[in-house]
Each structure stands twice: as C-alpha cells, then as structure tokens.
Structure 1
Amino acid sequence: MSDLPKTMKALVAYAKGDYRLETDFPVPECGEDDIIIKTEACGICAGDLKCQHGAAMFWGDEKEAPWVKPPFIPGHEFLGHIVKLGANVNNFSLGERITADQIVPCGECRFCRSGRYWMCQPHSIFGFQGTNNGGMAEYVRYPKTSVISRVPEDLPLDKALLIEPYGCSKHAVDRAQIGNEDVVVISGAGTLGLGMITYARMKNPARLISLDMADNRLEKAKEFGADLTLNPGKEDVVQKVLDLTDGYGCDIYIEATGHPSSVIQGLKMIRKLGRFVEFSVFGEPTTADWSIIGDRKELDLLGSHLSPYCYPFVIENISNGNLKTDGVVSSMFPLEEWETAFKYASGKHGDFKVAIKF
C-alpha cells in the first residue's frame, strides 16, 4: 500500500482538557527515513489520563515549563502494520507487524551515544509532542531513530498491547536485582504491577508479596505468581511484612502506585540496607523523612524509567506464556468512543488495561 489517504481519524490534544476527535486530520508524510504504520490498537496509559486532566508535569505550572507541545495525538502503547516505507529504509517490508519503544531517541546526545537512549536529553516520546504524534490515530509515523521491534502475526492483540507496559515492568524489576533469597514487595497491582509480578516470579524470590487496595487486582496478582497478597485498606501491611521477616522488613520494595502513601509505607516496611525502586508517575509531591533513607537504614534508592532493551524479551515471553497476560486487557473501544475509553481506563469499572482499537 503506497498511496495513503490524505486525511484520517485522530484524537488531538490542543490544551489540557481540550481533546477533540478529528475526522480529517492530515495523514503523516513519509520521509526518506520514515516508516508509516496503520494502527491496529493503542493502549491507554495512566500518563495519558493525567495529561488529559492537566497534570503540571505535562502542561507546566509556575515552577515548571510545559513538556508537551500541542497540538499532538496521544498514545504510546500502540502497534500496527507497515503501509509505507521511506526510500532509505531497507530492513523492513510492507505488511510487517511492528511496535516501537515509546521514546524516539535523538541519537546524538551523551546518553544516546553511550547506549543509554532511554534517557535521551531532548526526550521526545510518542504521544506528547506534535513532532512525534502517538497511536490514537489511524496512521503513525516512525522516524529514523525509532527503536522498532517486530511483533509476531499470531500474537493475539490483547497480548500484543502489553508489550510496552510489560517492557516498563521488566526494567523496574531488573533495577531491583532480585535474588532467590529476597523477600520482595510490589506495591500496586494494576497493569504495570501485574507485569512486575509475573516477571519477578521468573526470578524465583524467596517470597513475592503484592499490595493493592482493590481485591480483584490482588486476585489477579495471586494468579500471576504472588505468594501473598495484602490489602493496605484492610490490614496493617507494614506490621504484617515485619512479622513475616522476624522484624527486619522486606529486602526489596517496588513502588508502582503513584500515591504518596505507598512511598511512606515502603520506607517503613523495608529493611536496613534494602533496595527501594521507584517506578511511578505522581500527580502530587511526596514528602518523606529522608533520614530513613540515609542515617537510619542506608537504603539503595533507585528510579526506573521506560523500557530500554526490554521489548525482544517481553515479546518472546508473552508469546511463549512465561509472562502471564490473561484478562489484563479487559476493554477495547473504537476511537469515536474515546471519552468512554478514558473513563474505563481510570479503573472505576474494575478494568486493568483499556485500549482503543482501529
């Protein structure tokens, strides 16, 4: 397919809270080094919701400059089939099913030159700037420096949609350096937390504990490999973990809720010399007693960002069933029903992952 239509359906963000369904948005042009895909589907991330609601980390405030560059098409959890190739692209073919890391590295900054492309200084991510529009549109352009992975044709769509979030889950768990004698607590059992649970299970820790305020999520975490599930809304989970570890606390705590209380909870339940991995995007500042990190416990405090070098492993292990996925993608909507899709993506109806399907 070389002759594409001139216009397409797309969800376009013009300002915080000003998202519009367009039916005649220009189809992206294919430069000599570009690839154009016809979008198969696009998952809705918590970051997409926070951006749509106007979070300052995206749109800026009196302290921070805006990061987004409207108008833009949201969405970074997408995949599709190649419908057009630039003249200089010779390692892909028309019709191939592909996806890409959410970041489009510049290839020139100190991070890119040293192979740490996920921390690229310009930091252009699909779905937040008009120069790299996202997957909530019929067609998407992959620029030359996109980090592209092939997706097997026989991988069901509900599983393929988890490549990006599970890639992020894998990176967070890798940062934790789990050993088989570790007691590991993963706080949050949404899509990302479940991805962490099923991957951490492959590390064979001594005990894998999942925390969440929703019992249906804890049930899924148990199904995906958690040894123990605890609900902080119903019991003193800090004391429970201390009791299970002779009063020492867990060896590793991975924070995947984005709520300040989960950070404080983790600092209380982690042992001295423990490893704390912070994954989440927060909608508000978190205040913690930093003397716990330093003087009292001498913790290793690690961040986790995006999914570098994770897609090949995730694609292979979703395909062979080592990474569990059943029931995670629970609802799909057409683009015309994007407002309903965003509401379902908030989790208020019990969903884990919601997607827009084309």
Structure 2
Amino acid sequence: MSETPTTMQAVVMHAPEDYRLENRDVPTPAPDELLIKVEAVGVCASDLKAYAGAAKFWGDENRERWVEPGITPGHEITGEIVSGTAEALAHHEVALGDRIVVEQIVPCEECMYCRRGWYWMCDPHDMFGFKHYDGGMAEYMIVPALARAHKISPEIPPHHAAFAEPLSCSLHAVERAGIQFEDVVVIAGAGPIGLGAIIGAAHKTPRMVIALDFDEHKLELARKCGADLTLNPSKVDIYEEIRGLTGGYGADVYIECTGHPSAVGQGLNLLRKLGRYVEYSVFKENVSVDWSIISDDKELDVRGAHLGPYTWPAAIKIIESGVLPLEEICTHQFGLKDVQKALDTVADSAGASVKVSLLPGT
C-alpha cells in the first residue's frame, strides 16, 4: 500500500443543487475506526432526490432535509482499508489491504429497533452521505465502529463491487415478498433495483418471474438476470397477458421498483385476491389509489421494504459468482470532478444508463 496523503478531493453538499468538489484534509480514524481509500461509489435515485433538496417526507417542506449541509454524499461504497488499529480491524474482522463494502446505515445499537435486531429501522437513522457520517464521494472515508462492513473480492471491478448496496436492497424486497414455488411474480421496473429483484426472485424458483419495463434494452437485461417473461406495457396489454397466464386470477406477487405513481395502481390491479404487494421505491410525488382494492376487493398483503438488512452476504456471493451481467448493468463511470454529469445521467430517464458510479481515483 502506498502512503496515505494528507489532503484529498471530496464532494461537499452546501445547499440543494449546490454540490462542490473541494480539497479537504484526509480524516484521521479514531482508535475504533477504519480509514478506507474509496474505489467506487454508486449514484442512485435517492442521491438525485437529495441533491434536489428533498425533505424526508414528500410534500412537507417543514421536515428536515435528507442531507445535512457540509456532508459528503454517497452511500453505495466500496474501498480498500488503508488504516486502522488492531482493535478496529478485529472489530470488523478485516485486515489492512482488504476491500470492503459498507452498509448504508450506521445503526445506534441503542434504540428499540436496534435492540430487537431491526437495525435497518434504527430510530436516529444515521446514514452515510445523508446525516452525521460523510459518504463515499471522496477519495478517503472513515468507517466508524457502529458501521457494518463486509469483505468483497478485490478481483472484481470496483464499480461492480459497489453494486452490493442496491443488490442487497433488492434481495430484501424479495424476502419481504415471501415467494413460494407456485407463485407468478411480477417485478415492475428493470433498473438497478428491479434487476436485483429479478435475480433474487429467480433464485427462489417460483413458477414464473415476469419483468415489466418500457425500455427494450432493460428488458433484455431482465432476461439475462433470470426473468422468464418480459413485457413492455407500451406494446402489450399486460393485464390480459398476466390473466391469461394465471387462469384469469392474476399474479401472486408484485414488487414495485419504478418509483412512478402509476406503477402502484398497476400492481394492485395485476394481483389476484390474497396477493402480496411489495413497495421498494421512494416517490417524488404523492400516490393516490383506490384502497378498497386492498381491503374489500382482494384482501391484499401490502408490505414495505427499506435498505438491505441481513442480505449483504447473499448479494456479495451473487456478485462474486459472476452470474450477473454487471458489465451491462454498470453502464456509466465518472471521476469526482464530473459529479454533476453523473447526477444528470441518473436524472435522464430517456438515456441509456442503468447503474451510474463515481470512481474517486480517476
């Protein structure tokens, strides 16, 4: 390992739509902390919404913002451990030179949720790149003692390793769905989260995994990730198609991964009675649906999913196995100086991007 410099470049949030690349001191880890050299950090829709100044709850401008001024964004992180005491290394069960990925949340381990093992719903909810802890849009970053770190192979490209974060989220959504062998599973959206949900659902070996998207290239990726059938709602009547495949009943499971309000009502209508709806997306706009479909009409199970608790080892195993077409999923990489281009690429819904990443060392 080369000697760690004293200064670094880091993206710093000053205000909504005001992210600046600045020179900062390389942070010095405390005795129970690690210092990593960031190799890659993914950029996702939540980064874009935070950049735009989104509040924690849409439509309420009095709520606190997702991102604190002065913080370095970025929560899909991988990097090499370059500094840490024996105590810190032993705590995380790692060694100097290891490549790690870190979970998004830094749980307090003291609130009711943490004490009951529900750490991903930690009440303070401190997350890398949003609140309290600087994230990965920098050349170096501190990994505190409360963080959850996982080793990942240094043999795979860094931007592929960083995909462990969205993949772990997708796998949690799949776990929430309670998929059974006889189920017909519909996954709306073949972006990063949807593609991860497709491979996760395929690993559950249900009767059929159906992917929905308006982009034919993304539907091709969905097939490579394990979808048995792909449908473009602009070209076919998806309700007729899915009813025809299920004896007129409808799908057993619907996992929403688009973040578009129309996909919510779509899912409720595609499901059979007693079906299971899983919502992963964060919405820019309020969503309105006929709730009588959920209750009086179908008695549906509606389940949320947040972050990727307990799914990181599985996500890492999938990435290291090589079964995902990550060269085609991880489409765009930028240096820190091009953070605005990275955000704009994520925002361009008509563009060809799937997963966008920053590579701080380039």
Determine the structure 1 residue equivalent to 2:337: 336
CA contact (8 A) 1:59 1:66 kept: no
Separation in 1, partners of 2:35, 2:58: 28
Could you report, residue by residue, the CA deviation over 1:10-61 in whole angstroms, capped at 9, with x for unpaired residues? 1111111111111x22322211111110000111111101111222337984
TM-score in terms of structure 1 length? 0.95
* Residue segments in structure 1 that go unaligned for 5+ positions in a row: none
Separation in 2, partners of 1:54, 1:63: 12
Separation in 2, partners of 1:59, 1:32: 39
Shift of 1:156: 2.8
Letter in 1 for 2:56: M
Separation in 1, partners of 2:86, 2:218: 47
Separation in 2, partners of 1:177, 1:323: 23
Separation in 2, partners of 1:290, 1:256: 20
Could you report, residue by residue, the CA deviation over 1:169-220 in whole angstroms, capped at 9, with x for unpaired residues? 1100011111110000000000110011112111111111000111111111
CA contact (8 A) 1:199 1:323 kept: no
Q: Considering only aligned residues, what root-mean-square deviation do their CA atoms show, in Å?
A: 1.8
Separation in 2, partners of 1:90, 1:344: 37
Identify if the C-alpha distance between structure 1 residues 251 and 89 changes in structure 2 by more than 3 Å, giving closer, same or farther: same
Shift of 1:88: 3.1
Alignment of 1:209-288 (within 5 A): 209-288=210-289
CA contact (8 A) 1:70 1:128 kept: no
CA contact (8 A) 1:36 1:83 kept: yes
Asked whether 1:117 is paired with 2:116, we answer: no
Letter in 2 for 1:80: G
Letter in 1 for 2:148: V
Q: Please, which moves more after superposition, 175-184 or 54-63?
A: 54-63
Asked whether 1:183 is paired with 2:195, we answer: no
Separation in 2, partners of 1:99, 1:18: 27
Partner of 2:168, secondary structure, is helix
CA contact (8 A) 2:54 2:66 kept: no
CA contact (8 A) 1:60 1:66 kept: no
Determine the structure 2 residue equivalent to 1:136: 137
Determine the structure 2 residue equivalent to 1:82: 81
Shift of 1:291: 1.1
Q: Please, which moves more after superposition, 214-223 or 232-241?
A: 232-241
Separation in 2, partners of 1:196, 1:59: 25
Asked whether 1:194 is paired with 2:214, we answer: no
Separation in 2, partners of 1:321, 1:214: 24
TM-score in terms of structure 2 length? 0.94
Partner of 1:125, secondary structure, is coil
Could you report, residue by residue, the CA deviation over 1:205-260 in whole angstroms, capped at 9, with x for unpaired residues? 11110001111111111121111111122232123212221221100000000011
Separation in 2, partners of 1:60, 1:271: 32
Partner of 1:314, secondary structure, is helix
Shift of 1:348: 3.6
Separation in 1, partners of 2:2, 2:162: 26
Identify if the C-alpha distance between structure 1 residues 227 and 2 changes in structure 2 by more than 3 Å, giving closer, same or farther: closer
Q: Please, which moves more after superposition, 296-305 or 323-332?
A: 323-332
Separation in 1, partners of 2:317, 2:225: 17
Letter in 2 for 1:132: Y
Determine the structure 1 residue equivalent to 2:38: 39
Determine the structure 1 residue equivalent to 2:12: 12
Shift of 1:323: 4.5
Shift of 1:63: 4.6
CA contact (8 A) 1:59 1:65 kept: no
Determine the structure 1 residue equivalent to 2:29: 30
Q: Which runs of 4+ in 1 moved over 6 A?
A: none
Determine the structure 1 residue equivalent to 2:102: 100
Would you say how many aligned residue pairs link Structure 1 and Structure 2?
356
Could you report, residue by residue, the CA deviation over 1:50-98 in whole angstroms, capped at 9, with x for unpaired residues? 1112223379843523342211111111111111114631413221111
Determine the structure 2 residue equivalent to 1:57: 56
Could you report, residue by residue, the CA deviation over 1:133-157 in whole angstroms, capped at 9, with x for unpaired residues? 1100001111111011011122232
Letter in 2 for 1:294: S
Separation in 1, partners of 2:58, 2:201: 34
* Residue segments in structure 2 that go unaligned for 5+ positions in a row: none
Question: Identity of aligned pairs, percent?
Answer: 49
CA contact (8 A) 1:75 1:127 kept: yes
Letter in 1 for 2:182: E
Separation in 2, partners of 1:63, 1:2: 47
Separation in 2, partners of 1:93, 1:269: 49
